[in-house]
Amino acid sequence: MLGWTPTLLVGASMALHGAAAAGAVAAPEAWPWWLGAVAANHFVLGAVGMRPRSQLLGPNLSRLPQSTGQGCVALTFDDGPDPAVTPAVLDLLDRHGARASFFCIGARAAAHPELVRDIVRRGHGVENHTHTHPRLFACYLPGAKRRELLRAQAAITAAAGRAPRYIRAPMGLRSPLLDPAMAGLPLRYASWTRRGLDGISTRPDQVLRRLTQGLAAGDVLLLHDGRCARTRDGVPVVLEVLPALLEHLASRGLRAVALPSAADEACER
């Protein structure tokens, strides 16, 4: 994102905040009304930020472009790299000739640079998932958000030998202050079409159902190679789900791709 232009919703919210400040000065007795209007606006922005496909806060890649996504599904993995899980995920992807994008936490990339290099060596994408994955990232001011992004960008670039091109907010909670924080950075926001909730669900069958029910070409799928839920036997759920998912894609004639190649190259059946 080389520049920032507020969306209609964000621009209207900015105007409302300005009007509320001016109104509170001009008519102090009406401050409860202005405060209520601002609170309602924040509620709307928060609700929009929890919708992964929404474009109301800024550009958002939640599906592959129609011109490049025919016959393709983008696989994405969050919260890694994890030395106990990521190598097994990479082996499964290799076995099925699949490609994926790994949204890495910068601090984990710095701790396990060899894993990040292996992700790249095997033909996958490495992307920005902030440096420390703060749970309150959506509440950060633009300066603090930008520092998280820059630290992650530097750590992942140092480990991978190339810079991430996409960013995904922790837990997918997007703030209207994120795009201003991204201004001037070579990053594009990416969310997902459908997710398996494998970070919290211990049932591989339910995770697989969430990913495959209504699945279509161009979908962006979200799984986790870090902070994974585990089955009753202690197996990371993603390792139970991924083989069945890749077989399902093959049966549908769909090819699993990484976001950069999916955005840049035509994918055909």
- Strand segments (E) across the chain: 72-80, 101-104, 125-128, 166-167, 188-189, 194-195, 220-224, 255-257
Instruction: Indicate the residue type of 168.
Output: R
Query: What's the confidence (pLDDT) of residue 12?
Result: 82
**Tens-place pLDDT, residues 98-136:** 999 999 999 999 999 999 999 999 999 999 999 999 999
Q: Label residue 164 by pLDDT band (50, 70, 90).
A: very high
Of residues 159, 166, 157, 214, the one with CA closest to residue 191: 166
Which residues in 204-229 are b (16+ Cβ under 10 Å) and which e?
A: beebbebbbeebebbbbbbbbbbbbb
Task: Output the CA–CA distances (angstroms, integers) from residue 212 to 51, 66, 69, 263, in the order listed.
Answer: 20, 19, 17, 22
Q: What residue has token string 């621009």?
A: 11
For residue 18, the model assigns a pLDDT of: 84
Q: Is 79 tagged catalytic?
A: no
Residue 264's pLDDT is what?
Answer: 54
Question: Residue 226 has what pLDDT?
Answer: 96
CB-based contacts of 28, cutoff 8 Å, min separation 6 = none
Q: Which of 78, 79, 82, 198 is catalytic?
A: 78
Q: Report whether 60 contacts 84 (CB < 8 A).
A: no
263 pLDDT higher than 50: no
Q: What is the pLDDT of residues 207-262, one digit of tens each?
A: 999 999 999 999 999 999 999 999 999 999 999 999 999 999 999 999 999 996 54
Lowest mean pLDDT among 16-25, 68-77, 162-171: 16-25
- Give the chain's count of helices (H) and strands (E): 11, 8
Residue of 112, 124, 129, 224 marked active site: 224
Instruction: Identify whether 205 is a catalytic site residue.
Output: no
Q: What is the pLDDT of residues 138-150, one digit of tens each?
A: 999 999 999 999 9
Predicted confidence band of residue 203 (pLDDT cuts 50, 70, 90): very high
What is the arithmetic mean of pLDDT over 149-173?
97
Q: Give the model's pLDDT for residue 254.
A: 96
**Assessment of whether the complete model's pTM goes beyond 0.75:** yes
Q: What is the pLDDT of residues 18-63, one digit of tens each?
A: 877 887 777 788 778 878 877 898 788 788 888 888 999 999 999 9
